[in-house]
Structure 1
Amino acid sequence: MRHPVLTFVRNPSVDAQTAWQFFKNPIHGGENFWHTRALPFHESLADLEQKSDPRRILEAYIQRLYKEHAQALTAREHELEAFITRSLPLFFQQTDRLFPECPWPQQSLTVLFSVFNFCPRFLEEGAFQIFSADSNQAALFTTCHELLHFIFYHFAEETFPKLQTLDKNSGTFWLLAELFNHVIQRTPAFTAIHGEPGESTYAVLQPYAQRARELWHDDVRAWIVSMFPIVNSTHETAQNPTGV
């Protein structure tokens, strides 16, 4: 099966735009991303909320950071790109096994380096961010996590077309995708690639996590059919698109 080609790039303007969005809207999955994923690494931004022109200050801070640490950031980005590229063949072996009849929706994806630990994905643009200050294993975990989202959403929508009407950034479909990754990235085949994951910081996953693991029997379609009604019962009132 053909796998997507990853292009690694630095784009400070996208980094600034993304940071501003997380500053304005910090709550995701029950977690305050600004407090937990920005401030621990950027303590000088702790009083940004009290500033009269926070966007200008944030953008200037990011520009200065990239300028003053350009050489170190370049070296780190090259190191991460080499490590991730070298590690991905094992990951793609596993996605081929899990999704044997499902081609990847994109043949090229963009990996955006970031000085922030937000690590969002941009599904329509075929891109996602990784944190440049992460360890090699943590950055690889994030890369695998985001790649799994791309193929899982595509598989789910192709298999259950009514899912195409649901939001992939919040609600039932988003939660289902996060739970899938929670399960898969704890299986031996995946921990052998990127190491053991830590506890999820998404509080909304916790009520479902154990059941999601119990329902996994190495069959993605069957897992969706079993898990969707459980998640849907508390997050959506629409008819179950999986037909269960």
Structure 2
Amino acid sequence: MSLLKVVSSKLAAEVDQELMGPGVGFTLPQLMELAGFSVAQAVTREFPPSSVSMDKSVFVIAGPGNNGGDGLVCARHLKLFGYNPVVYYPKRSERNEFYKQLVNQLNFFKVPVLPNEQGSTDWLEYLDPERTLCIVDAIFGFSFKPPIREPFGTILDHLYGLKGKVPILSVDVPSGWDVDKGPVTEHALKPSALISLTVPKPCSTHMSPETSHYVGGRFIPREFANKYGFEPFDYEGTDQVLKL
């Protein structure tokens, strides 16, 4: 892992800014679609349909920002792949109409999006390993800054309390980790897999050796990657995700 090139949160933000700037012209929905699709593919790598019970749920916990949007896209693709996704989206973004459209799409595909009434505990039943295949942690991304506000502090405490009973796959950065420094609290999540987007962040070097590590977000050419100090990854064929 020490040989793997990583980029800081500051540089990752600059990468996104240029990709969505006038010179390149990607839109947020485009990049989110590719990122969420990559996360869904990583789930299929960790839990191939032929080897697991597809009756169990894939429980996607989505935060209010772009990381949460990646989770919403991931859930839609998982449904099309034949999985049984359920989404918990407790604090829905009002900043962009696109997030509402993502929820509409989930409704269209009959993917349950749990009610977000204050104080609701319905989501807790999906922490049961008897009914849940894995949890996709799409709560906070590389722009996260403490403190952790409710309801997410309580959510992360419950996820930590699982102690590996239900595998957790984190999107880009394990929620609650410092993107550059890694876990900063005793109750930091210990995901079974991390899906880094575009390029791994420094926190990935603090993962347990048992943690599976994927990279996704296959949308940059070699020259662009080299400009920011890393080599593009050798994705196979038409895959959108690569296990490192």
Name the TM-score, length of structure 2 as normaliser: 0.29
Please tell me whether Structure 1 or Structure 2 has the larger radius of gyration of its CA atoms: 1
Q: Which has the higher helix share?
A: 1
Task: State TM-score, norm by structure 1.
Answer: 0.29
Structure holding more strand per residue? 2
